[in-house]
Structure 1
Amino acid sequence: MSIRAIDEAPLNRFHRKLTWACAGGPFLDGYLLSIIGVSLVGMSHELSLTTAEESLIGAAALVGIFVGGLFFGAVTDRLGREAMYTIDLAVLVGASVLSVFVTESWQVVILRFVLGVAIGADYPIATSLLAEWVPNKHRGRLLGVLILAWYIGAAAAYAVGFVMAEIGGHGTWRWMVGSSAVLCALVLLMRLGTPESPLWLVSKGRTDEAQAAIRRALGRTVPTRELIAASAAEQSVVQSRVRDLFQGAYLRRTLFCGLFYMCQITPMFALMTFGPTILGSFGLGEGNSSHLGSALISIVFVLGCLPALRMVDRIGRRPVIIWSFALMAVPLVVLGGGSSLPVAAVILCFCAYALFSGGPTVLEWTYPNELFPTGIRATAGGVATSISRVGAALGTYLLPISLSRLGIGPTMLIGAGITLVGWLVSLLWAEETRGRTLAETSAPPTAPARRSAPPAKGAAGLADGELERS
């Protein structure tokens, strides 16, 4: 069952505002995860951090993201998208402000963990809310914009950190972490007044509130009969419990979303985190200027996402993700040649990998939101995020060890192998969801898709007329 007023609506000012507000979370995520790398030099000196403490600080946010995605996706499905949407940003603001006043390493670790929990929670919150508001034919592109914002946030963090370090040295690290508090507050202001998801309201039987939300946001009146039918369809879906993600038809989808996300993000996160180190292994980048190198790497990943944003809604999700993984492996195999490669070849390979990675990158949050019903949609997004962060944490931890013990060439070949696993998972399990309603895409593969019931005979003309006028 779907709501035509949402599925068939033209893009308007509300959709654009909601997209920017939802993108604020991933932007902050990229910023918060990256600014710590720039500020850690000054922080380590002032707080006398040991190597073990630095590692804990780096890992704390990743552990927090795992916990936040795993648990707060389910909370979002229970309490609603709009409520968690605001609470999550308030936590980010508070933890960012407190980070400015830390005096001990354990305080930094705890605050980074809390920030990670909020970041992990924001992924399913913002993506499920946007997915349930946008029209079918624009859903893939607009959800892809959210991941684009992550890279822009990361690039902004490196650029801000570079400028602050140039002006005041690494002693400005408190200003660096404090800058995130200002950005969090701005995004929080952007999110105030965001309406609740009508699909979530319908799934809870709150049809009057759903009707009012659609009228206020889209200027469309949905017949009560249609919403009641949608409510009955949503509540009749058996797969509405967390354990259903790990059994029956949805188990394969859970594995697919988690594994392709992990295989995409493990090499990518390692390249993003240790980009300057890797470039240094090839004789490129050092000192504070290496932060500019990291910013440039982030921008290149942004450019790689742009063509994929158009293709996922034009040619489909399945061909984009399969071909992207296949092509991503090629530059990593070439980089397996090691430090003997010419500088031009290294730069070309990095750019090629970033360009080809756009496909699975923009689908990281699209697939989990399309393949699961409203009752467990945010839960599924959170679980996929948690699975991916296992790979990200392992990749981040093992990359410097691999670089020192195996060398740059074998390390890049390991990345190519992980990428090919993602290609195989996509080839076997990727489904095509382009242009279909969420009710159709989230139906189990073995069950008939739940299509919208026609409106009542007496209300049909009125409903169609209202849709045309709006």
Structure 2
Amino acid sequence: MAVHTEAADARTAGDRDAAPVRGAASKEPLTGFHIRVTATTFGANFSDGYALGVIGAVLPALGTDMHLSGVWEGLLGASALIGLFFGSILLGRVADVIGRQKLYLYNFVLIAVASAAQFWAHSPLVLFLLRLAIGFGLGADYAVGPTLLSEFVPSRLRGVLLGSLTVLWTVGYVLANVLGTYIPINGTSAYWLLASGAVPALLVLLLRIGIPESPSWLAARGRAAEAAKIRRTYLGQSEATAADAQAAAADQPPAARYRELFAPGQATKTWFGVVFYSAQVLPYFAIYTFMPQILATLQISGADTQNLVLNLALLLGGVIGLWPVQRLGRRPFTIGTFAILTLCLGAMAVLSGASSGALMVPFLIYTFVMAGASTITQVYPAELFPTALRGSGVGFLNGTSRVASAIGTFVLPVSLSHFGAGWSMGWMALVLLLGTVVSVAWAPETSDTLTAEDLHH
């Protein structure tokens, strides 16, 4: 079965229809339902950041309480990432087959229950399995959340809303670190802090009750009447707009095989997504997981203050990065930020023996730009695939990126201890250079390659 790309679908609509469709999309209202869907997807990314940040805060106390070996500490630290990999890969495909809505709801039942159960997890095996389940549920949301959000919100707001997901992840991650720093962590408080992740998860679950299926998925499955009703009832579209969207969806295949991610016409976008996403998150997770060790290895004075400054730069960069994602276009933004990040880590590699002040300049620029650049990791994946492959494609990119982040997190401490900070910054700069080269060669501009059907939701 041939997969129509979004650009190809737009061409089949004809030049005669392009202008009216684009004009209608620009006037599509932002409804309370759009805000609700956005809030629940934001909450999911906050929960992910919180879950990944909190384990680092409590591991020292758990190590004493459970008498953990180094192997168990590593497994507990990586457990959610392992679950994220399997959840993204397996359930992204499921979302294309059975629909988005069921996974969008029930994955947070799993996350809320497993998060709360951590309070009673007093053995490393039980805690590992619970955090594996949390990661599995969050992995499903990485595939389904941005997919459903991109198929519901007005296209003119898609970039900024999808980009904001990474900002909320950062807020959750930083909050977990702050709580871990200022709350005295002992055997009891560690379990309370772990279980506190159930609170945002439960709020997300409650908000998701009653959210309907994606009209794009329904229309591609031939369920045009249901799709039109959702567009009118929830998205505030007129009868004419909903009818136009149904007609545009007629050319969309109802389903696609997983292998069509690598079919001619789609394979380049898929492999670009793998390299682009993996090259971004590999140094990101590695550096910010081992920030204290990096600062110590570089002999940067006032490490606690510098760590706070870097976390503030992380938050500020994520917020400010939303503007260029929306305004500059996906391709120039990706190439430009990769180039800056490569230069920053390259400078740190060269200056590894310099003063603290000299090292902090490229480190701060790297942190600020990386936070801004990471906003596009929630935007590009959803735009690289047509409706029939979107869940599978987004899930595949998220899954492979988590493999890259796990590799970076494993290799960096070994590299720091054996080769020092200079060489460590150097090999991570090469990873970013690979991302730059692949982006120049393959990065498509997806902000304008929208089908008539996409433009109406």
TM-score normalised by length of structure 1: 0.87
Match status 1:423 vs 2:436: yes
Q: Is the 8 A contact 2:65 2:187 kept in 1?
A: no
Maintained 8 Å contact 1:211/1:221: no
Aligned to 2:162: 143
**Rounded Cα–Cα distance in structure 2 between residues aligned with 1:59 and 1:306:** 27
Following superposition of structure 1 onto structure 2, how do residues 396-407 of structure 1 map, counting pairs within 5 Å? 396-407=409-420
Unaligned stretches of 5+ in structure 2?
A: 1-8, 11-20
Secondary structure in 2 matching 1:76: helix
Partner Cα separation in structure 1 for residue 306 and residue 151 of structure 2: 37
Deviation at 1:156, TM superposition (A): 0.8
Deviates more, 1:11-20 or 1:259-268: 11-20
Give the match for residue 363 of structure 1: 376
Aligned partner of 2:198 in structure 1 is 181
Report whether the alignment pairs 1:248 with 2:264.
yes
Aligned sequence identity (%):
34
Please tell me the residue identity of whatever aligns with 2:172: G
Is 1:277 matched up with 2:277?
A: no
Q: Does 1:302 align with 2:315?
A: yes
Aligned to 1:260: 276
**RMSD over aligned Cα atoms:** 2.5
Deviations 1:21-67 (A, max 9, x none): 11111111111011000011111111111111111112222221111
Paired with 1:294 and 1:126, the residues of 2 have a C-alpha distance of 31
Query: 1:213 corresponds to which letter in structure 2?
Result: I
| 1:89 paired residue number | 108
Deviation at 1:155, TM superposition (A): 0.4
- TM-aligned CA deviation for residue 85 of structure 1: 0.8
Letter in 2 for 1:138: L
Separation in structure 2 between the aligned mates of residue 190 and residue 451 of structure 1, nearest angstrom: 25
- The match for 2:14 is none
- Measure, in 2, the Cα distance between the counterparts of 1:396 and 1:11: 40
TM superposition shift of 1:352 = 0.4
Change (3 A) 1:81 1:298: farther
Q: Give the drift of 1:79.
A: 1.9
Q: 1:382-430: per-residue Cα shift (whole Å, max 9, x none)?
A: 1001111111011000111000000011100111111000001100000
Q: Does 1:193 align with 2:206?
A: no
CA distance in 2, matches of 1:234, 1:276: 50
Tell me if 1:344 matches 2:357: yes
Residue 26 of structure 1 aligns with which residue?
45
1:182-228 deviation line (CA, Å, top 9, x unaligned)? 12112222222323211111111122221221222232233475354
Q: Aligned partners of 1:215, 1:344: CA distance in 2, in Å?
A: 58
Contact 1:199 1:210 in 2 (8 A): yes
Rate the CA distance shift 1:296–1:29 in 2: closer, same or farther, 3 A.
farther
- Distance change >3 Å, CA 228–CA 133, structure 1 → 2: closer
Aligned mates of 1:297, 1:204 — CA distance in 2: 48
Rounded Cα–Cα distance in structure 1 between residues aligned with 2:311 and 2:106: 29
Counterpart contact for 2:100–2:214, Cα < 8 Å: yes
- Greater shift after overlay, 45-54 or 79-88? 79-88
Structure 2 residue matching 1:249: 3-state secondary structure: coil
Q: Which amino acid aligns with 1:160?
A: L
> How far apart, in 2, do the equivalents of 1:105 and 1:452 lie?
49
Query: 1:78 and 2:97 equivalent?
Result: yes
User: Which stretch of structure 1 is more off in the superposition, 339-348 or 148-157?
Assistant: 339-348
CA distance in 2, matches of 1:364, 1:452: 21
Is 1:9 the counterpart of 2:28? The answer is yes
Q: Unaligned 5+ residue runs, structure 1?
A: 441-449, 454-466
Equivalent residues in 2 for 1:52-71, closer than 5 Å: 52-71=71-90
TM-score under structure 2 length normalisation: 0.89
Aligned twin of 1:226? 244
Asked if 2 retains the 8 angstrom alpha-carbon contact of 1:129 and 1:197, the reply is yes
Alpha-carbon distance in structure 2 between the residues aligned to 1:209 and 1:451: 17
Letter in 1 for 2:105: T
**In 2, Cα distance between equivalents of 1:197 and 1:387:** 25
1:329 maps to what in 2?
342
SS for the counterpart of 2:439 is helix
What letter matches 2:193 in structure 1? M
Do 2:25 and 2:156's aligned partners in 1 also have CA atoms closer than 8 Å?
Answer: no
Name whichever of 272-281 and 1-10 sits farther off: 1-10
Asked if the contact 2:29/2:236 (under 8 Å) is kept, the reply is: no
Q: What one-letter code is carried by the residue in structure 2 that aligns with 1:53?
A: W
Q: CA deviation at 1:293?
A: 6.5
Count of residues in Structure 1 that have an aligned counterpart in Structure 2: 437
Whether 1:109 aligns to 2:128 is yes
Shift of 1:328: 0.5
1:357 deviates by: 2.0
Shift of 1:282: 2.8
Counterpart amino acid of 1:198?
P
| Residues 152, 298 of structure 1: 8 Å contact kept | no
Distance 1:364-1:372 versus aligned 2 partners, 3 A rule: same
2:367 counterpart residue number: 354
**Is this contact kept in 1: 2:155–2:455, CA < 8 A?**
no
Given that residues 152 and 235 in structure 2 are in contact (C-alpha distance below 8 angstroms), is that contact kept between their aligned partners in structure 1? no
The 8 Å contact of residues 308 and 358 in structure 1, kept in 2 or not, is answered as yes
Matches of 1:204 and 1:98, distance apart in 2: 38
Q: What is the match of residue 140 of structure 2?
A: 121
Q: Is the 8 A contact 1:204 1:231 kept in 2?
A: no
Amino acid at match of 2:176: A
Partner of 2:30, secondary structure, is: coil
> Does structure 1 retain, via aligned residues, the 8 Å contact 2:228–2:246?
no
CA contact (8 A) 1:73 1:121 kept: yes
Structure 1 residues 344 and 222: alpha-carbon distance in aligned structure 2, compared to 1, 3 A threshold: farther
